[in-house]
């Protein structure tokens, strides 16, 4: 066990920003994605773990402060010197003398940026700089807060592919906060789902998907023809322009596939769509809350 959160409550004034009632256990080597809408409590969670805000409850860990690294959404660097000297000053090392730093710079294809000043870097290059600085800490627990926020789709994809490749087969424990569902599909093996300061669900991504979506889901355009074809099968909550159908068993999967192919319907088959899982986890949580109040 690397870290356990018990009965944690954080307030801003009279407003409860985060309420964790069931224990959240983080094991070494886990990759945990944290998702939720604005105001869900994601940033509050990070601040509580880092001891930046007061809270009630317990965060139990043997980790020392220097064994935790954090990538914040916004970072400030000196603008008067080349990036190379920023890195060497903050890391207290020389690039030429530090093999690990040199490997990271090469891995992220960052060499052309070393002579530039921070203001001359693109958004993606600035994020690469911060990621390199964070990775160089070699922390037992690393927190990434919206690591690709504000970047265009192609830059986001390339950066995330690099991160996935770097951490493959490594034992680092990661806590990744992102509102991009596709990123968490690539990186996270567990999910912590928050909404309005409450924990909606926590567990392995594949298990949560089976719980809230079934064995597999079929995603297609939301139109009358498709709705008629899928009558008799379970419809899941999904973005308004899409129709999502759950297959609970292999038999259902075979039936749905046959119908869609026979009627030449364009569809996507998924066993890991986090956005749709997130929507249905919220729906299930609040439905249970309403039943409990009835």
Q: In this predicted model, what pLDDT tens digit does every residue of 79-120 receive, in sequence order?
A: 888 999 999 999 999 999 999 999 999 999 999 999 999 999
Name the residue range of residue 127's domain: 3-208
The count of structural domains within the chain is 2
Shared domain check, 153 and 220 = no
User: Under a CB-based contact definition with an 8 Å cutoff, are residues 119 and 130 in contact?
Assistant: no
pLDDT score of 71: 85
Q: What is the pLDDT of residues 216-241, one digit of tens each?
A: 999 999 999 999 999 999 999 999 99
Which of helix, strand or coil describes residue 148? coil
pLDDT score of 73: 63
CATH of the domain at 179: 3.40.50.300
Asked whether residue 281 is assigned to any structural domain, the reply reads no
Which residue bears the tokens 């509580």? 48
Listed residue (199, 285, 233, 249) closest to 25, CA to CA: 199
pLDDT score of 247: 97
Q: Is the pLDDT of residue 31 over 80?
A: yes
Which of helix, strand or coil describes residue 140? coil
Give the number of other Cβ atoms within 10 Å of residue 68's Cβ.
Answer: 20
Shared domain check, 38 and 154 = yes
**Lowest mean pLDDT, pick from 52-61, 145-154, 243-252:** 145-154
Q: Is the pLDDT of residue 75 over 70?
A: no
Show Cβ contacts of residue 149 under 8 Å, excluding neighbours closer than 6 positions. Answer: 73, 179
Shared domain check, 83 and 97 = yes
Listed residue (160, 162, 147) closest to 103, CA to CA: 162
Q: What is the pLDDT of residues 262-292, one digit of tens each?
A: 999 999 999 999 999 999 999 999 998 888 7
Supply the mean pLDDT for the chain: 92
Q: Is the pLDDT of residue 171 over 90?
A: no
Tell me the whole-structure pTM to 2 decimals.
0.90
pLDDT score of 294: 53
Shared domain check, 266 and 161 = no
Report strand pairing: 68-71 vs 141-145. parallel
Asked whether residue 81 is assigned to any structural domain, the reply reads yes
Listed residue (204, 194, 229, 233) closest to 217, CA to CA: 233
For residues 131-148, give the mean pLDDT.
90
* Burial of residue 108, with CB atoms counted within 10 A of its CB: 0-12 exposed, 13-18 middle, 19 or more buried: buried
For residues 139-168, give the mean pLDDT.
89
Nearest-angstrom CA–CA distance, 30 and 287: 30
Shared domain check, 182 and 250 = no
CATH of the domain at 226: 3.30.70.2250
Q: Three-state secondary structure along 22-57?
A: CCEEECCCCEEEEECCCCCCHHHHHHHHCCCCCCEE
Shared domain check, 139 and 15 = yes
User: Under a CB-based contact definition with an 8 Å cutoff, are residues 35 and 46 in contact?
Assistant: no
Asked whether residue 89 is assigned to any structural domain, the reply reads yes
């Amino acid at each position: 066990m690397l870290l356990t959160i018990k009965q944690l409550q954080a307030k801003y004034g009279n407003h409860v920003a985060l309420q964790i009632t069931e224990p959240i256990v983080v094991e070494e080597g886990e990759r945990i994605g944290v998702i939720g809408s604005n105001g869900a409590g994601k940033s509050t969670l990070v601040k509580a773990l880092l001891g930046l805000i007061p809270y009630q409850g317990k965060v139990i860990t043997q980790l020392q402060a220097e064994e935790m690294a954090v990538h914040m959404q916004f970072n400030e660097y000196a603008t008067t010197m080349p990036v190379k000297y920023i890195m060497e000053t903050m890391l207290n090392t020389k690039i030429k003398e530090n093999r690990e730093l040199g490997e990271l710079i090469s891995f992220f294809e960052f060499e052309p940026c070393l002579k530039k000043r921070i203001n001359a870097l693109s958004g993606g290059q600035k994020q690469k700089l911060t990621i390199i600085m964070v990775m160089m800490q070699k922390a037992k627990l690393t927190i990434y807060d919206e690591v690709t926020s504000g970047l265009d789709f192609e830059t986001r994809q390339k950066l995330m592919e690099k991160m996935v490749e770097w951490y493959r087969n490594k034992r680092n424990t990661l806590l990744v906060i992102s509102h991009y569902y596709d990123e968490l599909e690539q990186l996270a093996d567990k999910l912590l789902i928050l909404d309005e300061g409450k924990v909606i669900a926590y567990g392995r991504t594949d298990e949560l998907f089976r719980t809230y979506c079934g064995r597999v889901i079929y995603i297609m355009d939301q139109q009358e023809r498709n709705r008629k074809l899928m009558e008799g099968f379970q419809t899941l909550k999904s973005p308004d322009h899409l129709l999502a159908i759950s297959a609970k068993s292999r038999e259902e999967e075979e039936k749905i596939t046959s119908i869609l192919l026979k009627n030449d319907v364009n569809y996507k088959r998924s066993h890991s769509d986090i956005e749709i899982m997130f929507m249905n986890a919220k729906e299930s949580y609040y439905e249970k809350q309403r039943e409990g109040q009835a």
